[in-house]
Amino acid sequence: MYTSLVLRDKSVIWHPFTNLTDNQPPIPIASAKGAVLFDEQGNAYIDAISSWWVNLHGHAHPHIANKIFEQASTLEHIIFAGFTHRPAVELAERLLKILPGNFSKVFYSDNGSTSTEVALKMALQYWWNKSEPRRKKILAFSGAYHGDTFGAMSASDRGVFTLAFHDLLFEVIFIDPPATDDVHVQLNTILENENEIAAFIYEPLLQGAGGMHVYSAAGLDLLLQSLQSMNIICIADEVMTGFGRTGTLFASERMSAKPDIICLSKGLTGGTRPLGVTACRAYIQDAFVSEDRLKTFFHGHSFTANPLGCAAALASLDLLEKEECREGMRRIEKAIRQFLITLSEKHHGSIKNARSLGTLMAFELNTGKNEYLNTIGAVVTQMALSKGVYLRPLGNTLYILPPYCITEDQLAMIFDTIFSILESLKEPASY
């Protein structure tokens, strides 16, 4: 059965971020519970990266599963133009109470990429609707990743993810994320283009796919204050950083300057259903309030505000409010800090730039270039799987971002596996 499923997969499925000449067969996962995945042969793997950073509370969580079942038994989906439903309204109400800033409206979409696509279109059309000298340029950080749709790609770093499309992407002004609170270089670039910049999109404090890059909160705060004084719309892409990942409920809580638009997905539903949210401040919304129908925001998705996704998100918020969840976050942070101390003592020569932020831990393996295409990542994944741990490094950037339900014993197993891998990598013949 196991071999048969792998062969059937290979004949009909094209997997994401996977070279078609990759001969490493996918592992058929039959079930999952808590922080553990189980394959068709009964092997167990600790999910150390929350299945691409989405799973907050553990797999097959009964509270979320029950809420999805209850909703599916009542209303599974309805067109969201001209209709509404209770889960969408309740979720928007709850989100607006906890989001970091004074947000007015919630716009639903399907995933992280579409949430940033909505934000970019919303910001650009804001200037079109205002009928003032139109601003058309987007400002973003180098090393950024905002998704795989065309607008999101345009606002992302010009790297391997977007290489085939570089001549088709719209113009973006890139600046470096602030390493300190000194943002003079960035501001000089911005001032040169001030009257043309419509919006600035950024991943607050932590760039995920860009290599788990952690940067200065103080520097970002100063940058946001300066941009907002120039009437530049600030868009926080909290698709990854939202819902507790960085140590606060939202990374934007660390800055006094709050975003004008915020994008959410991944952990929004606890990792159980695809759902995206783009929330905006009242002044953004006001530019679309007009008798002129051409100023309508002509954007939507077939599954906008899907009731099952909204029900899952409401259930996830229930769990986030519990002390048990907060204790899980603190447990992970404490364990990571201790691990990094030991790591620096034992392997200071084989790693670089060990860092942590909230429930994230990351470092670079001192093997070749710091880049996504560094093949050491695939080697590490296979080594970890053989020991019952699932890791998926970004090239030579090894990281963990576990679900909040993970136990101390499971964390210890992850750390022991990383130590073992680092020891093995000292022997070239081992890989």
pLDDT category of residue 429 using cuts at 50, 70 and 90: very low
Please list the alpha-helical segments (H only) found in 31-85.
Answer: 50-53, 62-72
- In sequence order, what DSSP letters do the residues of 351-389 get, joined into one string? EEEEEEETTEEEEEESSS-SSTT-THHHHHHHHHHHTTE
Mean pLDDT of 347-368: 91
Q: Select from 182, 168, 317 the least CA-distant residue to 242.
A: 317
| CATH assignment of 64-320, among 3.50.50.60, 1.25.40.10, 3.40.640.10, 3.20.20.80 | 3.40.640.10
Output the average pLDDT for the chain.
95
> What is d(CA 81, CA 301) in angstroms, rounded to the nearest whole number?
10
> What is d(CA 75, CA 311) in angstroms, rounded to the nearest whole number?
11
Where in the chain are the domains? 2-60+323-430, 64-320
Q: Is the CB of residue 224 less than 8 Å from the CB of residue 234?
A: yes
> What is d(CA 239, CA 207) in angstroms, rounded to the nearest whole number?
11
Whole-model pTM: value is: 0.96
Per-residue pLDDT at 53 exceeds 90: yes
Determine the pLDDT at residue 346.
81
β-strand pairing of 206-207 with 213-214: antiparallel
Which is more confidently placed, 204 or 427? Answer: 204
> What is d(CA 98, CA 94) in angstroms, rounded to the nearest whole number?
7
Q: Does domain 2-60+323-430 have CATH number 3.90.1150.10?
A: yes
What is the signed CA dihedral for 6, 41, 414, 203, rounded to 10 degrees? Answer: 40
Q: Phi first, then psi: what are they for 298, rounded to 5°?
A: -85, 75
pLDDT category of residue 3 using cuts at 50, 70 and 90: confident
Determine the pLDDT at residue 23.
81
- Exposed, middle or buried: residue 176 (CB in 10 Å: 0-12, 13-18, 19+)? middle
Q: Is the CB of residue 262 less than 8 Å from the CB of residue 100?
A: yes
